[in-house]
Amino acid sequence: MPVGAGWATASISTKGVLTLTGKLGDGAAFSSVLTPDVDSDPGYRLFVQPYTTGTVVRLESFLAGGFSLAPHPTLANRRYLEQAPLTWKKAGVATDATYRTTFGPVSTVMMIDPWLPPVVAKGATPAITLATRLGLTGSSFGMGHSDTLSLSNGNLPTRAALSAINAVSVTTPLANLTKWKTLTFNTTTGTFTGSFELVDGALKRPVTFSGVLRQPATTVDPLIGDGHYLLPPLSGTEKTMGEVQFTRP
């Protein structure tokens, strides 16, 4: 099973049409356009077939489920999805880049949160920083990675700091031996990409990751970012995925 978290950006039109664009936890790209039902809390039905063999949609492979958007507990005129179960299945193929063995159906959880970008100070309009949007009391936040099974795993960072211009710097461990860095921190959409390096003997493996930031609906929810990394194998060609998480204190 893929360990990494899938992620997507979501946009809603004035007619309530919901567009999802992102990647599943095994790195498969997907997109879907969903029409709402007529309930006051709009409901949606998701059915995506993201896998193809050549140009043919792969049968018995899908992500599916139903969910409804509820009024946000703290943001007026905003809606969110606290949690909804989805079912995920993939029929493996020997030539797939990742997860060549069939898995599922398994259950996963989907969450949707409004994204408010930072505000630049202008006239009487005060600045609102990304750190404030994420609910950080300072500039520091925690980081977590699922086990890479690498000799370098213990060197992966556990804490970072966010600068005034939204640059991320590793603070623990300060040496940053894995060369961890964010390549893109998109404050308009909340998405991020980055990379780090694992060293096992003479073998150096560049690892890339991607995900999306969150502005949690409650102060007790620590998760402010989630996604996955793409891990090259020690031998062979089949890659695997792991999770990258950002948390606030």
Divide the 249 residues of the chain into consecutive groups of 10 and give the mean pLDDT of each group. Answer: 95 95 96 95 96 90 97 95 97 94 96 95 88 93 97 97 91 96 91 97 97 96 97 96 96
How many separate helices (H) and strands (E) can be counted in the chain?
1, 18
Write the DSSP string, 84-110.
EEEEEEE---TT-SB--S-EEEEEEEE
- 155 in helix, strand or coil? helix
- 81 in helix, strand or coil? strand
**What was the pLDDT predicted at 197?**
98
Closest C-alpha among 6, 204, 192 to residue 110: 6
Same domain, 78 and 15: yes
Same domain, 212 and 146: yes
Same domain, 55 and 160: no
Could you tell me if residue 161 is inside a domain?
yes
Could you tell me if residue 217 is inside a domain?
yes
Q: Which burial class, exposed, middle or buried, applies to 156 when counting CB atoms under 10 A from its CB (0-12, 13-18, 19+)?
A: buried
Domain residue limits at 135: 130-247
**What was the pLDDT predicted at 59?**
92
Could you tell me if residue 125 is inside a domain?
no
Of 63, 85, 112, which residue is a domain's last? 112
Question: Beta strands 191-200 and 203-213: pairing type?
Answer: antiparallel
Closest C-alpha among 150, 167, 156 to residue 245: 156
Of 112, 144, 175, which residue is a domain's last? 112
Could you tell me if residue 123 is inside a domain?
no
28, 57 in Cβ contact below 8 A? no
Could you tell me if residue 117 is inside a domain?
no
Could you tell me if residue 23 is inside a domain?
yes
**What was the pLDDT predicted at 200?**
96
**What was the pLDDT predicted at 43?**
97
Could you tell me if residue 232 is inside a domain?
yes
**What was the pLDDT predicted at 92?**
93
pTM of the predicted structure, to 2 decimals: 0.94
Of 112, 145, 172, which residue is a domain's last? 112
87, 105 in Cβ contact below 8 A? yes
Overall number of domains in the chain: 2
Same domain, 93 and 141: no
43, 36 in Cβ contact below 8 A? yes
- 171 in helix, strand or coil? strand
Could you tell me if residue 1 is inside a domain?
no
Same domain, 175 and 100: no
